[in-house]
Each structure stands twice: as structure tokens, then as C-alpha cells.
A and B are shown apart, each in its own frame.
Chain A
Amino acid sequence: MTGVRPLPALGVGSVIVMLAALPVAGLPAFYESFLYLMFYWIALATSWAILSGFAGYFSFGHAAFFGAGMYATAHLTVKMEVPFLAALPVAAGVAALLAAGIGAVVFRLRRLRGELFALLTLAVTFIVATIILNTPIDGGAGVLTSSVPLPRVISSSPSGTLYLLGLIVCVGSLAIAWWVSRSRLGMGLFAIHDDEDVAEVKGVPTFTYKLLAFTLSGAIAGVVGGVHATYVGFLTVSETFGITVPLYVVLMSVLGGARHWAGPAVGAVLIAASLYTFTSGDQATIGRGIVALVLIVAILLLPEGIVPTVLKQLRRRPVTRATPPDAPIATQAAPKRSDAPVLVVQDVRKSFGGVHALRGVSLEVRQGEILGLVGPNGSGKTTLINMITGHFPLDGGSIRIDGQEIGHQPAHAIAQRGIARTYQIPRPFAGLTVLDNVRLAAMFGGTGLSGAALDAEAHHWLAFTDLAGKAASLPAELNLHERKFLELARALVTRPRLLLLDEVLSGLNPAEIDSAIALIRAIRDQGASIVFVEHLMRAVVQLSDRVVVMNEGATLASGNPREVMRDPRVVAVYLGKAHVA
């Protein structure tokens, strides 16, 4: 995630210049056409992967955006005689609008599953195709685009111009994908891919990001379609909106590795080249079958795709470990403990169907205190945490932080206000390294840090939680203890005003519990207020300044830990009425 190294940048630059110079060098038209098709598939597959590869929402509707761009260009240039280059931005705009429209509707579905998204986008493609077929845009007769005047760039032949346009679109889409994969947007999309709910709670504006990526992806496909409209010379609805484009882009991306910016390009080159070798008649039939067979084998053997698999092999070789940057950590003066409330929860209600999970819970957390939240299983502790972090919408009541109502804000906005949580069962982003897991939380958690300061902060908290040696590992390589501490590091790096710890101690052995208790004290000393959900009474009594006992979705008792634990009602809840002496 560092800047561009000079040597590869030079290499990439010279390759682009060489490719651009080919038409001038008098390349035969056959090769120009062959390379154009390569560029076309690379650009199309890469554009698809910006949403579908990075964020994991597989779209089967890429033909809709591609086709919208194609027909927009054809309509403008043929029927309205707009110059070709002026039509391309319009094509991008039309396709982007279509994508944004679809995204704005479907991404609002709370339980939108991946395969439903795939089929919804496929359905939209059929509808767009039918509309174009039955309106004067096509009307069933097709549109002849071969006579559209192309700008003459350097060469006089139209195939040279198409080649250059293809090259520009291809390089452009690769550059955009590369930039996205390194940007804040890309980081957010990768997190959505791994665990969308956690991403939102860590501060990623998931709806906006998905919409942005979808729009960007559609816009690029629209431009590719616009250029391709003049390449094919004659547009028909069945060819444009057929199954070829959506399925080939998916296969190319999956083969090459959809999650890496260069993966779709690699897959596109392999598949497009092998399709090109079988061009005529019977050969084409058999060729397609062979390509399909190779695909099956590749997908079965390399489910992650070629590029990520190769990169993983390379990474296995010993590399000199990057030393953590030495940038100074911004230290904040720990605010004094006081009776001023940080969090005020008032009469919060939530039911799931007929189950009343919370029936009017009220509590407050004061500046700098550790509030123990205890109660039997099913008493609503985790639900309350989910309500505070905005994971579930409120049915009633109010939640305020520093006096400001947050009860109806989206989870990512709440995270940016300085509320962080850990999960009882750790939920790290499986595809990101330990370091990136922590960096992501810092990036989106309202710290306002970036660049070296962000890295330094991430390394600081990794060291704080004893994970410095694991920075480059993937979460799957950690044991439970380390995964719990990664949860903590992800929460701490945001310097939260309020930290919600959901059973951080469960499953740890006594020595690990002692180190965790020391860690939680250290966190409090840095100024955070803590809500500590725990079943382990020893830790609750040791750590908490106050305790709130919940039972059946309501608060039962609160106050000094030792006194509350002796309250007969509390004993009855835990051990049954017979034990109350």
C-alpha cells in the first residue's frame, strides 16, 4: 500500500507507449483487430470487478450497462449525428445512471443475498433489452453503425483509430481499478466483501460505497460499449444483451482473480486469446467446448484465481519484513473520570417478531468508568450493544452520546462518533492482513488520520495488543486469544469515546484472562469509557466501577458490583429462587 515504485512505473509507461505506437509502425489490420478485442475484454472484465470482484456482489447484468452505452452511442451518432467522441461521455453517463438507479433500489434491501443480486441484475438486463427492442431505439431492425465517422487520430485507417480507442479505454479502466484497490473506497469494498455488517459497524458507509462502485463500474462498461458499437458496425438486441458478455466477464475475472485489480485482465487475455484461436465453423464449436473445460478445471483447482494464487506463492518466500514506521503517536490527555454521562440509553425497546428482546432498557455510562453489564444468557446484553452501535434500528426509546441523539443514525455514522465494539466471536475481515484489519478500523473510525500517521497508529495498537509479530498474517493464522486481541486492536485504534466489549474473556485460559484484564485497565487509563459484558464474575468485580444487571430484556439492578451481586433478586436470576436465603 505504499506509493508507486519508480522502476515498475517506468516499465508500465514504456509498454503503453509501445502499444500506442504500433499503428504508426504499420501493424497489419488483422493484429489491430485482435489486440482491440483483447483491450475490449480487459476493460469490460476490469470494470465488472470494481463492484463485483472487490465487494463480492456478483452482477450478471453487465450487459445492461455495456448495451446501454452501445445503444446510446449508436442513437446519438447515427440518428442525431452527434460527433463520436462527444457521444462517449453521454454513453458513460447513461450507463452510470442506470447502474445508480438499480443500486439505489436493490442495495436498500436489508437482506440482499449475493445470488439474489446476481439474478436481479440479470432480470434488469432482459427488461432493458426488451424495452430497446420495442422502441424506436432499435425497433427490432438493428442499428447500422459502420458509417459513423471516426476521428482520425494518427493513422488514416478506422481500425487504427479503434485500436487506439480500445487501448485508451483498457489502460484507463486498469488505472481506475488499480487506484480504487489502493484507495479508501477499495479498502471499504474489500471489507464489505469479507463481512458487510462488521464493515458498517467499523465506520464504512457500505451503501454509499456499493453505489459508488456500481456506478463507476457501469460508467466504464458504458464507454466500452460506446467504442464497441463502431467496432461491430451493426447492433442487434440479441447480440448486445445476450448471455455472452455477463458470463464471459464473470469467468474472466474469476479465472484471473476477481479481488485483485489485475486479475480480470489476466483472465481476459487467456480466455479471449483461446477463443480467438478457434474462429471458424466446426472448429469454433469444439474450441468453445475446450475453453469451457479448461475453465472448469481452472475454477476447481484455483478457486481464488490465478493472480492471487501466484502472489501467495511469491509471498511465501522469505521477505525482509517492513519495519514499522517511527512516526510519533499522537497522545491524548486522558480526560478525568467524572459523573458526566457519555452515553445515555433511555427506554430502548426492540422486538424480533413476537420476541421482546428489550422491553425498555435505561442506563447511562459516565466519563471514564467501566460499566459491567451482566445477566443470564438471552437477557438482551448483546442486543443492547447491537442497538447502541446501530446494527438494528430502534423500535422505541432514545440513545444519546454526549447529549446527541444517535438512535436513528446508520451504524457507520455512529462508529465515526467514537463508539467501537468487539464481537463475542471474533469477526475479522478474513481477506485482509492483521495490519490492514487495524488500518481499516482507523481509516473509517473517525480518527481523521491518513498516510504515515495512520500506519504508525495501527502499528502502535498492534504492539499494544502483542500482535506486532503477526502484522502480515491473515486472520485465519491466529489462535482464539490472538483473534480476540485483534478485535481489541481494531476497536482501540479508533481511540473510542466509548468501547463496548462483548465477552472478550470467554474461551480464554486463566493466564490469558489476567493479561486481558490488565489490558482493559490500560485502555480505561487512556480515557475511554467502557461497557463490559461478561459472565466471568471475578473479572466483573475486579474491573467494574458499577454494574448493571439485565434480565428478560430489562434492567434488574445497578450499583456497586459487590452489593449488586448480593441482591437477592440478582441471585435468584442466576441461581433460581431456592438459593435465596
Chain B
Amino acid sequence: MPSLTLLGQSLISGVMLGGLYALVALGLSLSWGLLRLVNLGHFALAFLGAYLVYHLGTVWHVDPWWAVLIIVPVFFVFGMLQHWVFVVFRVTELTSLLVTFGISVIVESILQWIWTADFRRYETHYAGVSLKVGPFYVPWLELVALIVAVGLAWASWAWLRWTYVGKALRATAEDADIAAAFGINHRLLSFLLSGVCAAYAAVAGAFIALVSTLAPSQIWAWLGVVFAVVIIGRLGNPVGALLAGILIGAAESLAMAVISPAWAPVVSFTILIVLLLWQPKWL
């Protein structure tokens, strides 16, 4: 049994990792829950964002925070364009999965073509900085990622809960025809939401670039865990995605410390399977 300090430290890194999971899961959860589109391409988009932040930082020496500001609007437009294709071809939940898989493969090819298949690491001067809290170290970048995840999740939740646009989106998700009959322009709203989801991918990508190693094939590494987070957190529920991300991150990290790192994937998927079979009321 590892020491309490080690357990506490791994709990902290797990929660931080969970923030990153939640950040990637947010856009996926919103588009799946509210637009009924399973956007596999979200991962590829996040990695495209990560590579762009990396490139802007290492080649043109643009600070990552400024890089995000440049990428977010670009991705917002990309998200709307992608949604335009979906609308024109009346893409269903299932075909959206297949089409966005195709998009992922194309993005992966582009990444590999431009940046090669080698692993890359974005070195910044704040990469190794940690805050020391009692016996524990809290990595600074991961903490910022967690704070941003909490902020975005809360803001999305408030947006859906209290604004006209949010209510209209939720009404459309329940029944698009009835919502349209009450004068909701769900097309316009769905474009807006698609743009927002893609912008979230850009934000997630920036943090991926800052805290982890980049390789084109890594697109697929996140897929399983983040889908587990999206489902456990309930589709279309941003706060749920945040909590689920933290739960999975912490569980994985503790499993790594207590059992062995190699068994970590079993933890998240076992949680997912147990929850799906148990079907508690809140899921």
C-alpha cells in the first residue's frame, strides 16, 4: 500500500487530469446531447488546435494565450461549416459518427504530413512550475486547465439554463418540430452551438499542447476515456461532463498508484459499464 502522501498526490494529479478530460468532453457532450450528432472529429480538431498552438509558439514565438485567441474564431467558423454540410445532407446520429470519423482520418493525415509522426513536446517556461500546498505539489498548467474547465462548464450550464438561446436549444433537443412550431429558429441555433463546440475543441487543444506530448496517432488515445466521461456525465450536461471527468481522472490516477499504471484503462471503462448496467436515475 503506498503512503498517504503518494495517494494524496495521485488524487490531485487525477483531479487535474480529469479537468483536461472534461475540457475535451464538453464540446462532444453538447453536440451529442443537444444536436444529436456524435462528433468523433472533435478529438482530431482538438489535436489540430494543439499543433497550431505548438507551431505558433515554437516557430513564430506567439504566446499560447494569444494563439488561443487566434484559433478560437477560426475553429468557430469551421464548426459552422461542418454543420452546414450536416444540414445539407441531413446527416443522422449514426452517419454523423461515420462522417466525422472520416474527418478525423483526414485531419490525422494532414497532421502527419505537416508535422510528421514523431512525438513533439511544447517546452514553455511554465511547464514544470508547481504550487506547493503542504506536502503536495499542484502543477500550475494543469491547475489552469482545471479552472478553465470549471469556468466553461459552469458558463455553458448557465447559458443553457437561463438564456433564451439556451432554453431554445434544450427545447429543440427535446422535440425539434414542436420547438419550430413555437417559433424557434433551431437551424440558426444549431449553427451557433456547432461553432461553440468547435471553439471548445480549440481551447482543449491549447491545453493538450501545453501539458502533453503530441503525435498524430494520439487523436485516438483519448477517444475511449472521453466518451466514457461524456456518457457518465449525461449527454448535453456540461456540469455532468466536468464531474464525470474529475471522477474518471481521479479513479484512474488512484488505480495507477495502488495497482499498476497498466491497469488504469480498466478503471474508467469498468465505471462506465457498471453505470450503464445499473442505470441510476440521474444518468
- Interface set of A (CB-CB < 8 Å, partner B): 58, 105-106, 109, 111, 114-116, 118-120, 122-124, 126-127, 129-131, 133-134, 140, 242-243, 247, 250-251, 254, 282, 285-286, 288-289, 291-293, 295-296, 299-301, 303
Among B86-94, B125-133, B198-206, the stretch that binds chain A is B86-94
The 5 listed contacts between A and B (C-beta, < 8 Å) are A58-B94, A106-B276, A120-B273, A127-B273, A140-B262
Are B98 and A130 in touch, CB under 8 angstroms? no
Among B161-169, B182-190, B264-272, the stretch that binds chain A is B264-272
Closest 8 CB pairs of A and B: A289-B109, A292-B105, A296-B102, A123-B269, A292-B102, A300-B89, A295-B102, A292-B106
Q: Of A120, A243, A285, A300, which is within 8 A of B99 by CB?
A: A300
Bound form: Cα–Cα A204–B191 in Å: 42
Are B270 and A122 in touch, CB under 8 angstroms? no
Are A296 and B228 in touch, CB under 8 angstroms? no
| B101 contacts across to A, CB distance below 8 A | 247, 251, 292
Are B110 and A289 in touch, CB under 8 angstroms? yes
Q: B151 near A: Cβ within 8 Å?
A: no
Closest to B225 in A: A126
On whether A289 and B265 interact (CB within 8 A), knowing A243-B223, A299-B98, A300-B89, the answer reads no
Are B109 and A285 in touch, CB under 8 angstroms? yes
A58, A291, A296: residue with the most chain B Cβ atoms closer than 10 Å: A296
Are B220 and A242 in touch, CB under 8 angstroms? yes
Q: How far is the CB of A400 from chain B (nearest CB, A)?
A: 32
Q: B95 near A: Cβ within 8 Å?
A: yes
Are B263 and A299 in touch, CB under 8 angstroms? no
Closest to A119 in B: B227
Bound form: Cα–Cα A250–B113 in Å: 26
| Binary interface encoding of chain B residues 28-65 relative to chain A, with 1 for a CB under 8 A from any of its CBs, else 0 | 00000000001000000000000000000000000000
Q: B196 near A: Cβ within 8 Å?
A: no
Q: How far is the CB of B278 from chain A (nearest CB, A)?
A: 10
Q: How far is the CB of A299 from chain B (nearest CB, A)?
A: 5
Q: How far is the CB of A295 from chain B (nearest CB, A)?
A: 5
Bound form: Cα–Cα A345–B106 in Å: 61
| A130 contacts across to B, CB distance below 8 A | 262-263, 265-266
Q: B277 near A: Cβ within 8 Å?
A: yes
Are A116 and B266 in touch, CB under 8 angstroms? no
On whether A116 and B231 interact (CB within 8 A), knowing A109-B279, A286-B113, the answer reads yes
Closest to A111 in B: B279
| B105 contacts across to A, CB distance below 8 A | 288-289, 291-292
Are A282 and B227 in touch, CB under 8 angstroms? no
On whether A134 and B98 interact (CB within 8 A), knowing A127-B270, A292-B105, the answer reads no
Bound form: Cα–Cα A291–B103 in Å: 11
Q: Of B94, B223, B266, which is within 8 A of A131 by CB?
A: B266
Are A123 and B228 in touch, CB under 8 angstroms? yes
| B91 contacts across to A, CB distance below 8 A | 300
| A124 contacts across to B, CB distance below 8 A | 269, 273
Q: How far is the CB of A571 from chain B (nearest CB, A)?
A: 34
| B224 contacts across to A, CB distance below 8 A | 122-123, 126
Q: B85 near A: Cβ within 8 Å?
A: yes
Closest to B91 in A: A300
A58, A133, A289: residue with the most chain B Cβ atoms closer than 10 Å: A289
Q: How far is the CB of B37 from chain A (nearest CB, A)?
A: 11
Bound form: Cα–Cα A254–B260 in Å: 39
Bound form: Cα–Cα A250–B105 in Å: 14
On whether A127 and B109 interact (CB within 8 A), knowing A120-B276, A140-B262, the answer reads no
| A58 contacts across to B, CB distance below 8 A | 94
Q: B124 near A: Cβ within 8 Å?
A: no
Complex interface residues of chain B between 139 and 163 (CB less than 8 A to chain A) = none
Interface of B is mostly: helix
Closest to B89 in A: A300
| A118 contacts across to B, CB distance below 8 A | 97
Are A251 and B227 in touch, CB under 8 angstroms? no
Are B98 and A289 in touch, CB under 8 angstroms? no
Q: B112 near A: Cβ within 8 Å?
A: yes
Bound form: Cα–Cα A130–B267 in Å: 10
Closest to B109 in A: A289
Closest to B224 in A: A126
Are A299 and B269 in touch, CB under 8 angstroms? no
| B277 contacts across to A, CB distance below 8 A | 105-106, 109
Bound form: Cα–Cα A417–B224 in Å: 45
Q: Of B95, B106, B276, which is within 8 A of A116 by CB?
A: B276
Closest to A134 in B: B262
Bound form: Cα–Cα A118–B270 in Å: 15
Bound form: Cα–Cα A373–B228 in Å: 48
On whether A127 and B269 interact (CB within 8 A), knowing A116-B231, A295-B102, the answer reads yes
Bound form: Cα–Cα A282–B91 in Å: 32
| B94 contacts across to A, CB distance below 8 A | 58, 114-115
Given contacts A123-B272, A299-B99, A303-B92, 7 further A-B contacts (CB under 8 A): A109-B277, A123-B228, A124-B269, A242-B220, A250-B98, A289-B105, A300-B99
Are A293 and B265 in touch, CB under 8 angstroms? no
Bound form: Cα–Cα A105–B273 in Å: 10
Q: How far is the CB of A456 from chain B (nearest CB, A)?
A: 38
Bound form: Cα–Cα A282–B95 in Å: 29
| B112 contacts across to A, CB distance below 8 A | 285
Bound form: Cα–Cα A133–B270 in Å: 17
Are B113 and A243 in touch, CB under 8 angstroms? no
Are A293 and B273 in touch, CB under 8 angstroms? no
| B220 contacts across to A, CB distance below 8 A | 242-243
| A299 contacts across to B, CB distance below 8 A | 95, 98-99, 102
Are A282 and B263 in touch, CB under 8 angstroms? no
Are A126 and B102 in touch, CB under 8 angstroms? no
Closest to B112 in A: A285
Q: How far is the CB of A473 from chain B (nearest CB, A)?
A: 23
Q: How far is the CB of A84 from chain B (nearest CB, A)?
A: 30
Q: How far is the CB of A55 from chain B (nearest CB, A)?
A: 14
Q: How far is the CB of B146 from chain A (nearest CB, A)?
A: 25
Q: How far is the CB of A52 from chain B (nearest CB, A)?
A: 11
Q: Of A123, A129, A296, which is within 8 A of B273 by CB?
A: A123
| B92 contacts across to A, CB distance below 8 A | 303
| A250 contacts across to B, CB distance below 8 A | 98
Are A127 and B102 in touch, CB under 8 angstroms? no
On whether A293 and B276 interact (CB within 8 A), knowing A116-B231, A130-B266, A131-B266, the answer reads no
Bound form: Cα–Cα A116–B104 in Å: 21
Bound form: Cα–Cα A505–B273 in Å: 46
Are A292 and B109 in touch, CB under 8 angstroms? yes
Complex interface residues of chain B between 209 and 239 (CB less than 8 A to chain A) = 220, 223-224, 227-228, 231
| B98 contacts across to A, CB distance below 8 A | 250-251, 254, 295, 299
Bound form: Cα–Cα A62–B38 in Å: 19
| B272 contacts across to A, CB distance below 8 A | 119-120, 123
Bound form: Cα–Cα A199–B207 in Å: 49
Bound form: Cα–Cα A289–B97 in Å: 17
Closest to A133 in B: B262
Closest to B38 in A: A115
Closest to B104 in A: A292
| B228 contacts across to A, CB distance below 8 A | 119, 123
Are B269 and A126 in touch, CB under 8 angstroms? yes
Bound form: Cα–Cα A120–B279 in Å: 13
Bound form: Cα–Cα A253–B98 in Å: 11
A123, A251, A286: residue with the most chain B Cβ atoms closer than 10 Å: A123
Are A115 and B276 in touch, CB under 8 angstroms? no
On whether A282 and B113 interact (CB within 8 A), knowing A130-B262, A130-B263, A243-B220, the answer reads yes
